[in-house]
C-alpha cells in the first residue's frame, strides 16, 4: 500500500498531475505495456470497454455476471475501491486473492522500476493499476475482460485498447467539468473517444446534445444499465462466435437467455444501493431477529455524487425505506446484515411493525462538487416520494485522497478534525435547501464553535418546528468524526429501541467505503 500510495501525483481531486517526462499519457501506457511484454497479449484480449458518467460500474458488473453465468472465465476491472484495492480486480466474480495480487503487483513494480528514466518515470496510480489489470487478465487467461474507463475516454489510461470486441457508453451527465469541459457535448466527445473503427458500440437513452455527439440510436430496455449490459454481452457473444454455440437450444421467442437472467439477478456492486442492517447495538438472539426484526439501525449506502445519480438514489431510498418498493437487481444481492464483523444475506423484506421510523441523512462530498445542487436534487426527489429527513449529519473525511488502502489497513484516528469549515458550509446549505433561506446563525460563529457530539435526544427531537430564526440549528449537526458518529447512532438506538433509525449514506464513495469499513470492524 505504501508503494502504491507513492504513485499518487496530486493531493486533491481536481488538481493537475505533476508527472513530468517526454511522452504523453497514452504513449507512456504503451511503453509500460511493452516493457512488461504485454503489448501483443493485451491486443489479443477479448474486451468489453465501457465509458460514461453514471452507471459504468453497474453496467460492467452486470456484463461480468452475465458472461460468467454463460460459462466464461471473466476478468473485471473497475474503480474506485471502497475498502480494499483488490476490489478493482475480479476474476470469475471474486476479487483477486491477496497471494495473486502480491505476485502480479511486485512483478510489474520491479520490472518497471528497473526500466524507468527521466523521460519515462513510474506510472501514476491509475495508470499502474490499469497496467496491473492487463497483466492479471493476460496471465489468468480470461475469456473476456470487462474494462471500466477511469475518467473521460479519449485520454483515459484504458484507451490503449485498440480492438475491443464491443464498446458501451452509459448515461452522460455534468461531472468532472474541470477535466472534460462544461457542456454535455464536450463531455460526450471525450466519452466517445473509446469508439474504434469497425467496432460496434451501444449506448442508452441520452439527452439530444449528447446523443448527437455519440451518433447512436437510443436502445431502451427495462433497467438502463442492465439493458446496456445485455446488449454488450449479446454483441460480445456474437462477435466471438459463441452465441449460437451456447444458446442454440434457447427458445427464439425468449427475450433474454436464462444465463443472462441469472447474471442480472446475482450481480453485486458494493456501495451502490446497498442495505446494511447493523446489529452491533441490538439486544437479541439471532434466530429471534431473523424471524421478528429487521434491526433498529439500518444503513442505506449509495455512492451517488452527481445530480442525476442523487435523484436516482433518493427514489431508491424512498422506496426501500418504506418497504413497499421494488428493489433493483444489484440491491437484491447486497441486502446484508453486519454484526461484529460478520456478514450474511438477509431476507429481501423490510418487516412492518409498530415501531416509529426516522430517516437520517449522513452526508459528505468532495469540495470539487456543488453541494447545493446535490442536496437540492436529493431533497426534492425524496419529498416528491413522501420521504422527509428528521436530521442531517455532516461528517469530516476519514479516508485520505493520497493514501491507498487494503482491507487490513489501519483506519484513520478517531480523533476530531482540526478544520470543519467544509462541514459547516454543507450544514448551512442544507438548512437553506430545507427552509428556503439562509440560516441567521452568524457564519463566523458556526466556524469557530467547538464540534462535539449532540445529546442522544437530538436525534428524536421534532424537527418540523425548527426554523432559520432559531439560533440553534435543530434540523442538522456537524459531527466530530465518522467513527464517533457511528457509535453515537448505535447509542441512540440503544436508548430508544422502539424507534427504527434509517440512515442514508451518500454524496461520496469515500464516505460509503469508510462507513462499510467501520461497520465490518
- Distance of alpha carbon 282 from alpha carbon 310, whole angstroms: 30
DSSP strand E in 246-341: where?
A: 274-278, 297-301, 335-339
What is the separation of C-alpha 495 from the centre of its chain, rounded to a whole number of angstroms? 33
> Is 175 marked as a binding-site residue?
no
Residue located via cell numbers 463566523: 444
Non-local (6+) Cβ contacts of 470 within 8 A are: none
From residue 408, alpha-carbon distances to 106, 256, 320, 403, 521 in Å are 19, 41, 32, 13, 11
> Is 290 marked as a binding-site residue?
no
The ranges of the chain annotated as CATH 3.40.1190.10 are: 21-244+256-266
Q: Is-contact 281 297, C-beta < 8 A?
A: yes
Q: What are the pLDDT tens digits along the chain (521 aa)?
A: 999 999 988 656 555 666 656 788 999 999 999 999 999 999 999 999 999 988 899 999 999 999 999 999 999 999 999 999 999 999 999 999 999 999 999 999 999 999 999 899 999 999 999 999 999 999 999 999 999 999 888 899 999 999 999 999 998 877 656 667 668 888 888 888 898 888 888 888 777 777 676 654 333 323 756 778 889 999 999 999 998 888 876 555 456 788 988 898 888 888 888 999 987 655 433 333 333 344 589 999 999 988 888 999 999 999 998 874 444 444 444 444 444 333 333 443 444 456 789 999 999 998 888 999 999 999 999 999 999 999 999 999 887 766 787 777 655 544 556 789 999 999 999 999 988 877 655 454 455 567 899 999 898 876 555 555 554 567 899 999 999 999 999 999 988 888 899 999 999 999 999 999 999 87
- Distance of alpha carbon 216 from alpha carbon 409, whole angstroms: 44
Torsion, CA 241, CA 243, CA 246, CA 252, rounded to 10: -150
- Distance of alpha carbon 27 from alpha carbon 214, whole angstroms: 25
> Is 367 marked as a binding-site residue?
no
Query: What is the grid cell recorded at 496?
Result: 430508544
The ranges of the chain annotated as CATH 3.90.190.20 are: 274-282+293-322+354-405+418-520
- Other CB atoms within 10 Å distance of the CB of residue 112: 18
> Is 491 marked as a binding-site residue?
no
- The long-range contacts involving 22-28, CB below 8 angstroms and separated by at least 24 positions, are 22/119, 22/120, 23/119, 23/120, 25/127, 25/155, 25/157, 26/155, 26/157, 26/159, 26/160, 28/120, 28/123, 28/127
CATH number for the 21-244+256-266 domain, one of 3.40.50.300, 3.40.50.2300, 3.30.450.90, 3.40.1190.10?
3.40.1190.10
> Is 16 marked as a binding-site residue?
no
- Whether CATH 3.90.190.20 fits 274-282+293-322+354-405+418-520: yes
Amino acid at each position: 500500500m505504501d508503494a502504491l500510495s507513492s504513485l499518487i501525483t496530486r493531493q486533491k481531486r481536481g488538481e493537475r498531475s505533476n508527472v513530468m517526462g517526454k511522452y504523453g499519457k497514452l504513449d507512456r501506457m504503451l511503453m509500460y505495456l511493452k516493457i512488461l511484454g504485454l503489448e501483443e497479449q493485451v491486443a489479443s484480449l477479448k474486451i468489453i470497454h465501457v465509458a460514461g458518467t453514471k452507471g459504468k460500474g453497474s453496467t460492467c458488473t452486470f456484463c461480468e455476471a452475465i458472461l460468467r453465468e454463460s460459462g466464461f472465465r471473466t476478468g473485471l476491472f473497475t474503480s474506485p475501491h471502497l475498502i480494499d484495492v483488490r476490489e478493482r480486480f475480479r476474476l470469475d466474480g471474486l476479487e483477486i486473492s491477496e497471494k495473486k495480487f502480491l505476485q502480479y503487483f511486485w512483478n510489474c513494480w520491479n520490472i518497471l522500476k528497473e526500466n524507468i528514466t527521466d523521460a519515462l518515470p513510474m506510472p501514476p496510480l491509475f495508470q499502474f493499476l490499469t497496467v496491473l489489470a492487463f497483466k492479471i487478465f493476460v496471465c489468468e487467461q480470461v475469456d473476456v475482460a470487462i474494462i471500466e474507463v477511469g475518467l473521460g475516454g479519449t485520454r483515459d489510461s484504458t484507451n490503449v485498447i485498440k480492438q475491443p470486441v464491443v464498446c458501451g457508453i452509459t448515461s452522460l451527465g455534468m461531472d468532472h467539468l474541470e477535466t472534460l469541459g462544461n457542456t454535455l457535448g464536450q463531455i460526450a466527445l471525450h466519452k466517445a473517444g473509446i469508439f474504434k473503427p469497425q467496432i460496434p458500440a451501444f449506448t442508452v437513452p441520452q439527452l439530444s446534445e449528447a446523443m448527437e455527439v455519440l451518433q447512436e440510436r437510443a436502445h431502451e430496455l427495462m433497467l438502463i444499465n442492465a439493458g446496456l449490459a445485455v446488449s454488450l454481452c449479446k454483441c460480445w457473444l456474437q462477435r466471438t462466435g459463441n452465441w449460437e454455440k451456447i444458446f442454440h437450444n434457447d427458445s427464439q421467442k425468449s427475450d433474454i437467455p436464462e444465463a443472462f437472467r441469472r447474471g442480472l439477478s446475482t450481480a453485486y456492486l458494493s456501495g451502490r444501493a446497498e442495505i446494511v442492517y447493523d446489529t452491533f447495538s441490538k439486544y437479541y438472539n439471532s434466530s429471534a431477529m431473523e424471524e421478528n426484526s429487521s434491526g433498529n439501525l439500518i444503513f442505506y449506502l449509495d455512492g451517488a455524487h452527481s445530480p442525476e445519480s442523487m435523484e436516482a438514489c433518493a427514489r431508491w431510498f424512498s422506496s426501500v425505506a418504506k418497504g413497499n418498493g421494488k428493489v433493483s437487481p444489484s440491491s437484491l444481492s447486497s441486502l446484508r446484515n453486519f454484526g461484529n464483523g460478520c456478514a450474511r444475506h438477509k431476507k429481501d423484506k423490510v418487516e412492518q411493525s409498530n415501531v416509529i421510523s426516522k430517516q437520517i441523512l449522513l452526508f459528505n462530498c468532495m469540495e470539487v462538487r456543488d453541494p447545493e445542487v446535490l442536496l437540492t436534487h436529493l431533497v426534492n426527489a425524496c419529498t416528491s416520494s413522501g420521504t422527509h429527513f428528521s436530521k442531517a449529519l455532516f461528517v469530516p473525511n476519514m479516508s485520505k485522497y493520497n493514501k491507498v488502502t487494503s482491507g487490513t489497513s489501519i483506519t484513520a484516528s478517531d480523533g476530531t478534525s482540526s478544520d470543519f469549515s467544509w462541514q459547516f458550509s454543507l450544514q448551512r446549505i442544507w438548512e437553506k435547501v430545507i427552509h428556503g433561506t439562509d440560516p441567521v446563525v452568524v457564519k463566523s460563529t458556526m466556524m469557530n464553535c467547538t464540534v462535539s457530539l449532540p445529546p442522544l435526544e437530538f436525534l428524536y427531537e421534532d424537527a418540523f418546528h425548527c426554523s432559520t430564526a432559531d439560533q440553534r440549528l435543530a434540523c442538522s449537526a456537524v459531527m466530530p468524526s465518522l467513527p464517533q458518529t457511528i457509535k453515537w447512532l448505535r447509542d441512540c438506538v440503544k436508548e430508544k429501541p422502539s424507534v427504527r433509525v434509517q440512515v442514508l449514506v451518500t454524496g461520496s464513495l469515500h464516505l460509503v467505503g469508510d462507513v462499510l469499513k467501520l461497520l465490518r470492524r
